[in-house]
Amino acid sequence: MKAASDLCSSRREEALINAERGTRNAEFDESLLMSAAAFPNRQPTSRSALARARVPLARAALADCHLCAHHCGVNRLAGERGLCHAGADARVFSAQVEVSDELELIPVFAIAFSGCDLRCDFCITGAESWNPRAGQLLQGLEHSRRRHGLGQSIAAVQNLSAQSTSDIAARAKSALAKGARSIMILGGEPTIHLPAVLELVATLPDDAKLVWKTNAHGSAQARALLDGLFDVWLADYKFGNDTCALRLSRTPDYTRVVRENLVWVAREAGFAHFAKCVTSSHSCPVAAGRSDHADRAISNALGTGSIVASGDGRGASVRTHFAKCVICGGYSCELIVRHLLMPGHIECCWRPVAEWLASELPGVKVNLRSGFWPAWQAARHPELRRTTSDAETERALALAHELGLNLIE
């Protein structure tokens, strides 16, 4: 019988080999990610190293794509397309310094990936978000190597301008040097381009404040690949019910998925996590149900002070972090929830969102955005042909105050 470490190692290597071949059956599960953290000689020592170690896994995931909650299962490496229409290549349609976001984050160097897994008719960047082929091709290190190995560059073949991951990273570093406070990766929806995102993170400074701007529609697989890499999760909670979500963004099962993501960030990687922080092996709340892998990882963590374990009892719950936790010196990942007020959707959307946040994530930072812009195909819906009224905004704010939400600008 194989030892657990050998088994894990061989499965991981098999997945890597499959990824290189682009085969559909590339194996992937969360336990593969654990292997890097579980074995001392493979444990990444920095955020960039951790991101780099996950790139092959993310690429393997494209062969049977379940990065978002649509779970299309298509082989993007072989040219198949799911609901987001994205292939194996990632494109960037904007990379610039902005001050539109939360005051605690700005100025931010915002890197926007083309394509999205949602189809919001009111999307303010609809042309780019609905089209993963918009913008400039982003050539990552692995991608370039693969293309050059075939003797041709996709950019040259298609006569498209392209940016390299290192070019973007250099611009981000320059922005930081000139006073930008954080680097934000967004879309469209960046989750659908995780291989490129991880390559990008691998080239960014380890001490940079990284913000993950997401529609919170990712899968557990995507969350595993992202775990421990971002300082702030800036997550949209757009719709207060599944009917509006389906009608306005063609997204089924929206509420469950978004809530699952938000709870994961808050509970598994965020402030609630620290209450269960492991500072000694004997007080570890993971003890009930921990696996051998978790045991070894926790032991390793205690040696480095860099790993925090959560108390979900599933065993595969070790998190690797690289910033400071007030309890253990581990990581402090922050969650900010955004809601864009939509005209005519205060009661059906904002109220349920606000009530759920107040009930399930008390104290979480909430940014209530009032500048609805009837963009893209918003006119398909009569109520979205205008901006929100002052009365609607005031009513929404009053509800937020009534519920005691922690509003931020």
- Is residue 324 packed enough to be buried (19+ CB in 10 Å), middle (13-18) or exposed (0-12)? exposed
Choice from 78, 99, 127, 156 touching another protein (CB under 8 A)? 99
Pairing mode, strands 307-309 and 232-236 = unpaired
Q: Which stretch binds another protein (CB under 8 A): 41-49, 162-170, 191-199, 221-229?
A: 162-170
170 counts as binding another protein under rule CB under 8 A: yes
Give the nearest distance from C-beta 373 to another protein in angstroms.
5
Identify the residue among 51, 62, 77, 180 touching another protein (CB under 8 A): 180
Of 1 and 157, CB closest to another protein: 157
> With binding defined as CB under 8 A, does residue 182 bind another protein?
no
Residues 101-120 as x/- pattern, contact with another protein by CB under 8 A: --x--xx-xx----------
Rounded to the nearest whole angstrom, what is the least distance from the CB of residue 177 to another protein in the complex? Answer: 8
CB of 17 to another protein, least distance (A): 34
Near another protein in 338-377, by CB under 8 A: 371, 373
User: Which one of residues 45, 174, 299, 304 is an interface residue with another protein (CB under 8 A)?
Assistant: 174
Of these, 21, 42, 148, 178, which contacts another protein (CB under 8 A)? 178
* 282-321 positions binding another protein, by CB under 8 A: none
14, 29, 30, 98: residue in contact with another protein (rule CB under 8 A):
98
Residue 133 interacts with another protein (CB under 8 A): yes or no: no
Binding to another protein by residue 280, rule CB under 8 A?
no
Selected from 79, 149, 151, 179, the binder of another protein by CB under 8 A is 179
Among 114, 129, 136, 221, binds another protein (CB under 8 A): 136
User: Of the listed pieces 53-61, 73-81, 173-181, 235-243, which binds another protein according to CB under 8 A?
Assistant: 173-181
**Residue 158 engages another protein in binding (rule: CB under 8 A):** no
Site for another protein in 378-397 (CB under 8 A): 387
Binding site for another protein (CB under 8 A): 94, 96-100, 103, 106-107, 109-110, 124, 136, 161, 163, 167-168, 170-172, 174-175, 177-181, 371, 373, 387, 409
